[in-house]
Structure 1
């Protein structure tokens, strides 16, 4: 790298954006229409029938070989275009049990039956509808412009990302045996920073996680005679309080460990309040940026749960089960460098920023690296970047004098008020996928 400084007023080739990719403007309206339809009709993890059908039908109409029903409602599609690398674009199908409170004219009013049979409101509160729309648009662009690339373009619509089970289910159902195994897997995720920008991490993009269920079981009884019961709820509540010390007292502050008791259920919803429940169920999520830190935290949760149960005069039975586990999302350095450079050429350096790593989690790592190797496909590399979704009006209206203050108060993923800017998010997301895939596919024949 040259050590010569630039003269004031001069620019490098990455400072100024490249001309718009031909044909992207024509995709804006159908992409927005697909996004709005998906946003209005969210579906929970494992129940993405309509969403998968819309996505698969669109890819089929664009000339892809489409496979449906992989690992549940998963969709995989393939478009071969001569010799060259195989590049996979991945997006997610599922939404969340969140009641939308955005006030948007296209807000979701959908519901689904909950565990007790009552309707649960649904919302695309994590941007998966935008991910799907952008991938569908990028796929259409490549299908219409085969003269500009060589290789195989693969597209996956993954179910059940929110439960961290969909990627594993697709792999166990033979995903990489039923399509051309990819060389690279590319994905992006919306986040509440200015729309029109993309962000790349130099280290971990997202944390690894484990979702644990702690179950306390013992004799219940009358609320007037708690001394005659095992009182599982008391042991569960004690665990909630004690778990906060795992990250605060048992880990190096530099590890960025998060241990969260996320839900506690005990008794029956119809209880009159004078019955001590015989069962209490506690859900705990653990997040860390290394597998050893994750292992230590999981062991600490198990130790705390058993210790709280054992401390009771009539100890309830305590069991801890791992419901899911996901590795650290760590993009391949070489692939990331190529994609970041392509984004800088396309958008200009001012619209490509850094990403500090988030304690959110993903099952994307299973599709690459060690996860893919477990299914006989070593050598698959990944690149994962963040896509700004906050529109100018929302950014300006957010209180705070600087970016850090605004980011603290803007509605984030999983919030009932999370609402990406439609035009800027979709246009930037589509262009980001197209330029990233072009950087990894074979060049057009000269």
Structure 2
């Protein structure tokens, strides 16, 4: 890439002018200020499209608010690179001068504050910065990069929407799909592992229907609150008594809503569940136990069979062994021998796996840190993803995200 008198290293051998870093830090802050909720990323998509046009990169919409950029540079490998774009319904409390004050509309029509509380602003910026570098450094590489700016990751809807919208009929089939995610870890550190990189994820809504009555006449009711409360308590035994102790699994009740007044036993109660499991067999066991407990507690309470509806379901995220080893070597060469950590299985979930699994193409997903090392002094730790206080360092977010993306991309594409 053309240099200036002063440059900064994104990674070993990947140097850019100071102005490049400054430009993309400002881009990161702009994305951070203006998050949009899942599948509502219209303004974000338009900003991405405008930047791709500035860079001269062919692009098209896919999956509603998804954007695909095709950076072609002669004969060579075809590499997919995914960056998710959606924010979360969180009221930001970071105190940053570029903090979000945006709001969005939830699926139920209610208004909610929005925040890039999972770092997808970092992912967008890193992908666009990598694209800018590759445009200016065409002489160093050959092939095609399929940049996948994917909406709706938080709801497990975006990757499937892009695939269902004919993604791989309109873009060249890649040799591998790469993806990355910022985490509350020190800059210059990376996590990846071969095999399952994240957990399967399932979210359910349970509607419990009873019989409404005056609070002073409970004998005339079939109390859905008591029944639902019994279900919630009994569900805590699924992991402790139906899953082997060495097998990771999570069953979380995230919301519980019932009633409008203290002296009315309501007709309905509703709660939502989030389930994380490491593999399909465990998923089947846990979901079967959840359904059995809900049904049995309803019967014990003398109420109708509850209605259970799926909110979302995350697929596997399986890192191909050969390509994971290759990415590990590339990141180690770029950031040093101690930079890459063999990751434990995470209980978080991701839908990036769909992008490769849909066409039987290998996937590699890694996590990277973007916090100063002093944030971990004396046992301290910064706020994690989905916290209202989640605040990666802007400079580290851009340098580490972009540097990692380029290190692995150029390992596949470099001459």
In the alignment, structure 1 residue 342 sits paired with structure 2 residue 330: yes
Q: Who is 1:390 aligned against? A: 371
SS of residue in 2 equivalent to 1:94? coil
Return the match for 2:382 from 398, 403, 410.
410
Instruction: Tell me whether 1:193 sits opposite 2:185 in the alignment.
Output: yes
Q: How far, CA to CA, are the matches of 2:115 and 2:386 in structure 1?
A: 9
User: What is the CA–CA distance in structure 1 between the aligned matches of 2:201 and 2:109, rounded to whole Å?
Assistant: 30
Alignment of 1:166-315 (within 5 A): 166-267=158-259, 271-312=260-301, 314-315=302-303
Q: Alignment partner for residue 347 of structure 2, among 338, 349, 359?
A: 359
1:78 CA drift (Å)? 0.5
1:118 Cα deviation (Å)? 5.4
Q: How does 1:315-334 map to 2 (within 5 A)?
A: 315-334=303-322
Structure 1 CA distance, aligned partners of 2:110 and 2:143? 49
Instruction: Tell me the distance in 2 between the aligned counterparts of 1:316 and 1:278.
Output: 11
Secondary structure of the corresponding residue to residue 98 of structure 1: coil
Q: Does 1:421 align with 2:413?
A: no
2:98 is aligned with 1:128: no
Q: Superposed, which structure 2 residues align to 1:84-163 within 5 Å? A: 84-114=76-106, 119-163=111-155
What secondary structure does 1:423 align onto?
A: helix
Question: Structure 1: where are the runs of 5+ without partners?
Answer: 1-16, 401-405
What CA deviation, in whole Å up to 9, does each residue of 1:286-329 have, x standing for no partner? 111111101111111111111111111x3133122222212232
Match of 2:7 in 1: none
Aligned pair in 2 of structure 1 residues 204, 341: CA closer, same or farther (>3 Å)?
same
State whether residues 319 and 363 of structure 2, in contact with CA within 8 Å, keep that contact through their aligned partners in structure 1. Answer: yes
Displacement of 1:350 in angstroms is 2.0
**SS of structure 1 residue aligned to 2:384:** coil
Q: Secondary structure at the match of 1:23?
A: strand
Say if 1:24 and 1:141, in contact at 8 Å, map to a contact too: no
Q: Does the Cα contact within 8 Å between 2:11 and 2:407 map onto a contact in 1?
A: no
SS at match of 2:14: coil
Once the two structures are superposed, residues 135-194 of structure 1 have per-residue CA deviations (whole angstroms, 9 ceiling, x without a partner) of 110011111111111111110111111011111111111111111121111111111111
Q: 1:232 to 1:135 in 2, by over 3 A?
A: same
1:14 matched residue in structure 2:
none
Contact 1:203 1:330 (8 Å CA) reproduced: yes
Residue 184 of structure 2: SS of its match in structure 1? strand
Q: Residue 50 of structure 1 aligns with which residue?
A: 43
CA distance in 2, matches of 1:173, 1:130: 26
CA distance in 2, matches of 1:135, 1:187: 10
1:73 aligns with 2:70: no
SS of match in other structure, 1:349: coil
8 Å Cα contact 1:219-1:316 kept in structure 2: no
Matches within 5 A, 1:5-24: 19-23=12-16
* 2: CA distance, partners of 1:224 / 1:178: 64
Could you list the per-position Cα deviations for residues 56-81 of structure 1 after superposition, in whole angstroms to 9, with x for gaps in the alignment?
A: 2111211111112x212111110111
CA distance in 2, matches of 1:116, 1:157: 26
**Contact 2:12 / 2:333 at 8 angstroms: preserved in 1?**
no
Question: Which piece of structure 1 moves more, 31-40 or 220-229?
Answer: 220-229
> Using the alignment, how far apart are the partners of 2:118 and 2:12 within structure 1?
31
C-alpha distance in 2 between matches for 1:250 and 1:24: 57
Question: Equivalent residue for 2:4?
Answer: none
Q: Report the alpha carbon displacement of residue 92 of structure 1 after superposing the two structures with TM.
A: 0.9
SS at match of 1:66: strand
Which segments of 5 or more consecutive residues in structure 2 lack a partner in the other structure? 1-9
What's the counterpart of residue 13 of structure 1?
none
Q: Could you say which residue in structure 2 is the equivalent of 1:430?
A: 402
- The equivalent of 1:6 in structure 2 is none
